[in-house]
Structure 1
C-alpha cells in the first residue's frame, strides 16, 4: 500500500510575514499531489462516516416526527435528544473537518463560521455525554419505581431535563469562546486574510480544560457507573426472584411480574449497549486530551498528529441509529417503513 496510486487536489497557502496580522496577505494555490492507497481509503472512510451519520439520524428524527406516540413517552424523548446531538455532529463537526482536509488543514470559511463551528462542535459533543447520562437516569427510575414510573417521569419532566442540559452544554463554550479573542488575542495562530487556523486561546488554558474534563467527562462517567450499577443489581435481583418463583402456580399477578421483569431487563440491555458504545468511542479522545494538556509530551508526539481519536468519537453518532433499530421495535419498524417507501405508520399497539 506504500506506492502512489491516485491524485488528490488540495490548497496550499503562503502568507507574508507582516507585523500586523490583519493586514497580511495570503495566496492559496490549488495543487495536485499523489496519494497512497491508505490516504485514499481514509478519505473514503471519513465521507462514508459522514453519510451514515447524517442519513441514520435523519431517518430516526423523521420516524419521531411521523409517530406522535413515540414522542409522547419520556424515554423516547431522551433518545430523540441524543439523535439531535448526533445529527448536529454529522452536519457540523464531520462536514467542516472533512472539508478542511481539502484545504490542507487551513480554515477558509471566515471568522463567524469558525466561532459557530467551534461552539456547535463542542456543545453537541458535550450534549452526547449529557444525553447518555439522562437516558441512564431515566432507566434507573424505571427499574426502581416499576409501575409508578409514569408518576415520577413524565414527558414534560424529560423536556425540562433536555432544556437544562442544552443550556449547560452551549454556555460552557458560548461565552468563553466569544471573550477568548479579547483575552488571548484574535485566533491563537495568526489569522491571515481569509485563511488561517480555526482555534481559540482559551481551550489551551489548563484550568479551563480541567473544568471541561470534569464537567463533560468526569461527572457523566461517575454518574453512568453509579446508575448502571444500580440498574444491573436491580434487574439481577428481579431475575433471581423470577427463578425462585418459577415453580409456583402461574396466575395473573405472576404474569404481571414476569412482564414487568422483561420490560426492565430490556431497558437495562438497551442502556448497556448505548453506554458501552459511547465509552468505547469517546474514552480514547479524552485520554488524548488528558495526555496532551497534563503530561506535556509536545505537539509533535505521534498521538497528536492524527484525528483518529476525534473520528472515533464522532463514529458513535453513526452507530447510535443502529442501536435504536436493534433495541426499539417501533423505531425499527418506522425506519423500515421509510426505506421501503410505505405510507403506513408503525402499529400503535407496540409499547415502545
Structure 2
C-alpha cells in the first residue's frame, strides 16, 4: 500500500451541488455562465424529465444512450453535438450518459478521434464546451471523475480515456432523481459504488488521503442500501447512497479500481450484463481472494458493512455473498445467460485488463480468474 508521504493528485468538479431538490440549480448556473445552446445526453427515460434541470436557451436532447455504450453510440452523440453547436454538454443519467457526455465535450469540434485519445493524458486541448453532470443513479460516481469508457464492438473490449479536460465544471447531485430507480437496479448500483470504494481502499496504490472517502463510502452503503432497496422513497437512504457514489467517484481518479472491475467488464461487453449487476456478482469472490494480501483492510470493510466474518477467505466470502444476495441480487452467472463454454474467453479478456489488474493487492493469474468465474457460475 502507498505511504502517507507518497505524492497524489486530487481533482474535483469546481462546483458540487448536493441535496434533494437541487436539480434546478443547474439551469441557474448555466444562465449565469451565458450558455445558449445546450446538449443533454440522456437515455429515453431521463429525456422525459429534462425540464427539471431548468436549462436556459436552446436545448437539444440526445435520448439514445445505451447501457454499456459502444463506439457507434458515441458517434451518434458526437453528430448531435456538432449539429447543435452546443456550448454546454450535460450528462443526465447513469454512468453511460455521463461518460458519453465527457467524451463528446472533448471530441466534438476537435481534430482528434476517439482512437487518438484512448489512454491517459492524450486529449490535446482544453474543451470548447462547458460540461455539467447530473447523475440519476447512485453507483458510478462518474460525475466526479476524469475517466470515460466505451466498448469497441469488434473486440468487445472497453476503451478507457482519462483526461483532466473531462472534469465537469459542475456536478449536480439530487438524490430525489433516484427515487424512481427500481429496487433491483438500486441494489446493483449500490454495490457498484461500494466496489469502487473497496477496490480503491485495498488497492496497491491506496493512499490515506483517499482511504478516508473509501471507507466512509462503504459505511454509507452498509447503512443505507438495504433501506433504499426496501423503500425507494426513503430520502435519507437515497441521499446516503448518492454520497457513497460520489465518494466512490473521488476514489477513481487518483487510485482507481482493481481486480473486481477487471473481472466484471467481460460480463458487460460480451453478455450485456448491467455494470452494477456484474460487479455485485463478482464482488464477494474477489474480496475473499484478496483477503490474504489485505487482511486488515478487509476486516475494516466487513466492519463498515456491519457484517460478521473471521479473517479466513471462506468466512469473508460467506459474509459478502450474503450481503449481496440478501439485497435480491442474482449471484450466479448461469442465471444471467452466460454460457459455461465462454468462461475461458472471458478469463482471457479479464486477464488482459492490466490497467486494473496491476492495481490488485494480490496477483490474479489467468487461472485464478477462470476459477472465480467457475465458482460464480
Say yes or no: TM over 0.5: no
Q: TM-score, normalised by structure 2?
A: 0.22
Q: TM-score, normalised by structure 1?
A: 0.24
Relative to total residues, which structure has the larger strand share, 1 or 2? Answer: 2
**Larger-gyration structure (1/2):** 1
